[in-house]
Amino acid sequence: MDPLFLGALVAIITIVVLFSGVSVAIGLLIVSAGFLITFDGLRSLELMPEILFGKLDSFALLSIPMFIIMGSSIASTRAGADLYEALERWLTRVPGGLVISNLGACALFAAMSGSSPATCAAIGKMGIPEMRKRGYPDGVAAGSIAAGGTLGILIPPSVTMIVYGIATETSIGRLFLAGVFPGLLLVSLFMAWSLYSTWRSGNTETLSPRSYTWQERFEILPRVIPFILIILGVLYAMYGGVATPSETAAVGALLCLLIAMIIYKLWHPRLLWQVLRDSTKESVMILFIIAAAGVFSYMLSSLYITQSIAEWIGTLDVNRWVLMIAINIFLLIAGFFLPPVAVILMAAPILLPIITTAGFDPIWFAVVLTINMEIGLISPPVGLNLYVINGIAPDIPLKTILSGSLPFVACMIVAIILLCIFPDIATWLPDYMMGTAR
């Protein structure tokens, strides 16, 4: 059978199987087994456990559970609220300071926790009521937090980037650095929109700043600085060539747990177990999808599907940007239904050869892909962040949250367009810090 036709068949059957409600990892194993039996015979199943095990047999993967522990120990504390307080106290004189400090707190917390829903919950619980109390429109209050939360998967250290790095065998260090400026670009776009729409709503007279004494400003710092230092330390250790991502993540995880225990008094075994339980749940889920996606991509290449698609794209006479737009639309749709990690793992083995054949930089593509996944996080039907916001501010109708988030989706699309025109936004920092690739 023609490998291209086979590829289309795999795609359709995978979609049908996944939409039946079976879990993603198991679904990938089912599809792989089905095609291997049909085209390579029953004996080819023998290899499945070996490939599954082999896929997990990598020291780099260890950074995933480590960063997850780091994030969930921070997320389990009041660190989010403290961060928000600190920024609010320091930025109170900046016009529209409240929404700026909310978005800033989202960006910082997102970097520390690496989790979008956790960021939304941690900052939104304090930020949304405060913004509404001070006259910010509901849509802006909800939308800014929903959008700000998505930064977790872009700003380093990001688990999504690690997964992309592992799936495509690109440098995790480079990927992290590539996320920095696009992350800042997104934050600026979000801030600009929030300020503009607040100003347009005409409620500016109620946006009176509260004043804080210098003592109030300084006394909050000791509670937030340790976490920020750890993040900076982790990044320094990775880029100073001191240690690998997994090693730094392990130290970061231990330090964050210790700080949570010491500063936030998280010493009760039940609370500690909660942190460990949540991180175990998330790590196992992601690692199992990674392993299953390994089997899936083995199936694709043993049936020559991956290779044929790449060849086929090479012979196609389409403009590379048309191709890029098509890929982005495909990813956007996938992102509406599936979490970023699952989309990346399934799409990477197929998309990467296409991307590189068409002459795109895989590091740059990681950033575009991640922003694309962020859109999925604040779009229905799955749009996890929308539901988190709905959970913490139940009196804002879901419709207002949705319409409040839409302009932020537009900001993300603007960011993707800017990245297409100026790819240096993503690639300059990794090239500058780590030397030009290739």
Q: For residue 58, give every residue at least 6 positions away whose Cβ sits within 8 Å of its Cβ, in sequence order, or none.
A: 166
CB atoms within 10 A of CB 19: 10
User: What one-character-per-residue DSSP string does 45-57 give?
Assistant: GGHHHHHHHHHH-
CA angle 418, 420, 423 (to 5 degrees): 90
Nearer to other proteins, 224 or 409 (CB): 409
| Residue 94 backbone phi and psi in degrees, to 5 | -70, 135
Shortest CB 320 distance to other proteins, Å = 31
Shortest CB 435 distance to other proteins, Å = 24
Nearer to other proteins, 69 or 309 (CB): 69
Q: Where are the alpha helices (DSSP H) in 151-268?
A: 159-168, 172-201, 214-219, 221-239, 245-262
Shortest CB 294 distance to other proteins, Å = 12
Shortest CB 126 distance to other proteins, Å = 21
Nearer to other proteins, 58 or 206 (CB): 58
Nearer to other proteins, 4 or 251 (CB): 251
308: nearest Cα among 347, 357, 359: 357
Shortest CB 182 distance to other proteins, Å = 22
Residues that bind other proteins (CB under 8 A): 18-27, 29-30, 33, 45-46, 48-50, 52-53, 56-59, 61-62, 65-66, 69, 117, 242-243, 246-247, 250-251, 253-254, 273, 276-277, 279-285, 287-289, 291, 337-339, 342, 381-384, 387
Contact 63, 245 (CB under 8 A): yes
Nearer to other proteins, 33 or 414 (CB): 33
Shortest CB 197 distance to other proteins, Å = 27
Q: For residue 54, give every residue at least 6 positions away whose Cβ sits within 8 Å of its Cβ, in sequence order, or none.
A: 294
Shortest CB 372 distance to other proteins, Å = 16
75: nearest Cα among 110, 37, 31: 110
Shortest CB 22 distance to other proteins, Å = 4
Nearer to other proteins, 33 or 228 (CB): 33
Contact 211, 92 (CB under 8 A): yes
Rounded Cα–Cα distance for residues 396 and 223 (Å): 31
| Residue 240 backbone phi and psi in degrees, to 5 | -75, 0
Nearer to other proteins, 274 or 308 (CB): 274
Nearer to other proteins, 20 or 211 (CB): 20
Contact 409, 144 (CB under 8 A): no
